[in-house]
C-alpha cells in the first residue's frame, strides 16, 4: 500500500528490511542497519504522540535515542507539555491510521483520507473489515 501511495513521487522510496527480517523486528536493529547503509546520516524518526509514553519500553531505547532524533506528530488533543523532550510537528489535518482502520471496520467511507489507489487496494483485498459485511453496516 505504501508503494501505491507514493507512486510517482520521486522524493520517497520504500525500504522493506523490517519485513525481510525473521522474528520480532525492533527499531534499534533497523536503525543500525540503516546507519550501515548510510554512514554519517542522522535519522529522524517520526512518532505519533500516542506512542511517546511507551518509548522507554522499546528495545534498547536509551541507545536508540542516542542514535536518532525523534519528532512527534501531535493531535488536537495532545498535551504538549509531556512532549517537551522532542520537536513537535502539528498536524494540519487530524487523521490517524487507527481512525482509518476503525472507519473501514465499520463500513464508513474513507474517501479523502487515502489516495484512491490505496483505497482500491484495501477494498479489493478486503482489509480491515469487521465480521459484518459492508452491506450490513450503515455509513
Per-residue pLDDT of the chain (139 residues; tens, 9 = 90+): 889 888 888 989 999 999 999 999 999 999 999 999 999 999 999 888 888 888 999 999 999 999 999 988 877 666 655 556 776 766 666 678 888 899 999 888 888 788 888 888 888 888 888 754 444 333 3
Looking at residue 139, its pLDDT comes to 34
Residues 135 and 85 in one domain: no
Tally of domains in the chain: 2
Q: Are 103 and 78 in contact (CB under 8 A)?
A: no
Residues 116 and 86 in one domain: no
Residue 1 lies in a domain: no
Residues 34 and 83 in one domain: yes
3-state secondary structure the chain: CHHHHHCCCCCCCCCCHHHHCCCCCCHHHHHHHHHHHCCCCCCEEEEEHHHHCCHHHCCCHHHHHHHCEEEEEECCCCCHHHHCCCCEEECCCCCCHHHHHHHHHCCCCCCCCCCHHHHHHHHHCCCCCCCCCCCCCCC
Residue 87 lies in a domain: yes
CATH of the domain at 74: 3.40.50.620
Distances (CA, A) of 12 to 3, 4, 88: 9, 11, 22
Distance, first Cα to last Cα, the chain: 24
Q: Are 35 and 41 in contact (CB under 8 A)?
A: yes
Q: Are 111 and 119 in contact (CB under 8 A)?
A: yes
Looking at residue 36, its pLDDT comes to 97
Residues 71 and 121 in one domain: no
Domain range for residue 125?
Answer: 95-139
Residues 89 and 99 in one domain: no
Looking at residue 96, its pLDDT comes to 81
Q: Which three cell numbers stand for residue 80?
A: 504538549
Residue 5 lies in a domain: no
Amino acid at each position: 500500500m505504501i508503494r501505491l501511495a507514493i507512486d510517482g513521487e520521486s522524493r520517497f522510496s520504500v525500504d522493506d528490511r523490517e519485513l525481510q527480517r525473521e522474528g520480532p523486528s525492533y527499531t534499534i536493529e533497523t536503525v543500525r542497519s540503516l546507519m550501515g547503509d548510510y554512514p554519517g546520516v542522522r535519522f529522524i524518526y517520526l512518532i505519533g504522540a500516542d506512542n511517546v509514553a511507551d518509548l522507554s519500553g522499546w528495545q534498547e531505547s536509551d541507545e536508540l535515542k542516542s542514535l536518532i532524533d525523534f519528532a512527534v506528530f501531535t493531535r488536537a488533543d495532545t498535551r504538549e507539555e509531556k512532549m517537551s523532550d522532542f520537536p513537535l510537528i502539528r498536524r494540519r489535518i487530524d487523521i490517524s491510521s487507527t481512525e482509518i482502520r476503525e472507519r473501514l471496520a465499520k463500513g464508513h467511507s474513507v474517501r479523502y483520507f487515502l489516495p484512491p489507489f490505496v483505497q482500491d487496494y484495501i477494498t479489493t483485498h478486503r482489509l480491515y473489515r469487521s465480521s459484518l459485511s459492508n452491506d450490513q453496516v450503515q455509513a
